[in-house]
Structure 1
Amino acid sequence: MRRAGWIAGAASAVLVAAGGVTCAVAGDDGGGAGAPPPAASSADAGFARDMAVHHQQAVEMSYIVRDRTDDVEVRRLAYDIAQTQANQRGMLLGWLDLWELPKVSADPPMTWMGMRGAPSEGDGALMPGMATDAELARLGKLRGRQAEVYYLRLMTEHHKGGVHMAQACAARCTVGVEKRLARGMAEAQESEIGLMTDMLRERGA
């Protein structure tokens, strides 16, 4: 119960903070009054585009496992991750609209971080930490404890990739509220990695 309360409390705090960030971004251009919006090739735009895609898969995996297990703890974690990341994804896409920038780019993912090309071409993993097409298909076939363990392993790796990207934005992005959101994402996902490690250990994995 203590852990469940922590998860729910953390998710609620992130959602409340996210709402404040959404309201504030229009007035925080990161470069002073009258500064132009970020360029399409900027770290700000690249992070918004790539993290929106990254988050979408986390939402998808979380809804898959929710229907594959009756475990209350895993279902609650999956629901919190899905709700938090869906909310953040909406913010990221909203910023791109606000900046009048495209939501897709001809450049490979993570180019804004100095990285080029998918980490493992041909298997469906667009960015580090993201599950492959085969892994998503497998998750959709498992049930019970097997689904729980597989989801926790996939989401742990997914969070590690997300933390790497969020830390890069915190270092490279120029829009103040986006940098703060990125730092918050990294801290929250690092905490959830610890939580999921404990949940895996409890399941003998």
Structure 2
Amino acid sequence: MRRPVLIICGVLVLAVAAFLLFGRGGTPGDSSPEAGFARDMATHHAQAVDMAFIIRDKGPAKEIRSLAFDIINTQANQRGMFQGWLQQWELSQATDQRPMAWMSGHGHGATPSASATPGVMPGMASAAELAELRQAQGTQAEVLFLQLMIRHHEGGVQMAEGLLSLSTRSEVVSMAQKIVDGQSGEIKLMTELLEQRGARPYPSILKSQ
């Protein structure tokens, strides 16, 4: 008699865990990796779009302006998809959970490098760095933008790779892989643009994983 009871208890525990993770109807729950990824990546993308607008409005070189245009369009569209998922899943756009909490305990902690701040998304520019970018002009502005955006993209890649290790939900996995592929390609391009300007990227936050 004891073994059937243990089996039933085990099944109930799994059922409760599945409900908490995915909610009703198999959709992701509020604390799921999918919901956390959508919320955090929407915020992450918003800053990338902001930085791209800043450099675009400074009248940079053609290749920088083209890159900024691509980032604005791609990441604004993806951000809309993240927000649409949350609405479809009947989840709030905001949460009381700390940023990156969805990655904690899965081998992808919230502190991707020694210089990272706990609870802060990897690659995000500080308020002081954004202010410096707004004040910079000419080649100095282009170099700073590229350095900040390379690090920002590295953070996006890190977050997307974290989601890939935690989720099997097709639309979310597909988007995460697009982010890994697309932003990895742009990192290479921006590194080349920096070299053309006699500059180098900041130390990579990906190497510290």
TM-score, length-normalised on structure 1? 0.78
Q: Distance in 1 between matches of 2:59 and 2:140?
A: 9
Q: Distance in 2 between matches of 1:126 and 1:59?
A: 18
Q: Where does structure 2 lack aligned partners over 5 or more consecutive residues?
A: 1-23, 200-209
* Structure 1 residue 174: Cα displacement: 3.2
Q: Distance in 1 between matches of 2:132 and 2:163?
A: 32
* Structure 1 residue 127: Cα displacement: 1.3
**Which amino acid is 2:171 matched to?**
V
1:167 aligns with 2:156: no
1:176 aligns with 2:170: yes
1:105 aligns with 2:80: no
Q: Would the aligned equivalents of 1:63 and 1:82 in 2 still touch at CA under 8 Å?
A: yes
Higher Cα Rg, which structure:
2
CA deviations over 1:82-116 (Å, ceiling 9, x no partner): 11000000000000000000111111111110135
Map of 1:83 onto structure 2: 73
Identity %: 48
The CA RMSD measured in Å over matched residues stands at: 1.8
The higher-RCO structure (CA 8 Å, 6+ apart) is: 1
CA deviations over 1:24-49 (Å, ceiling 9, x no partner): xxxxxxxxxx9421000000000000
4+ runs deviating over 3 angstroms: 115-119
Map of 2:125 onto structure 1: 131
Map of 1:148 onto structure 2: 142
Map of 1:51 onto structure 2: 41
Q: Distance in 1 between matches of 2:59 and 2:166?
A: 40
Q: Would the aligned equivalents of 1:130 and 1:158 in 2 still touch at CA under 8 Å?
A: yes
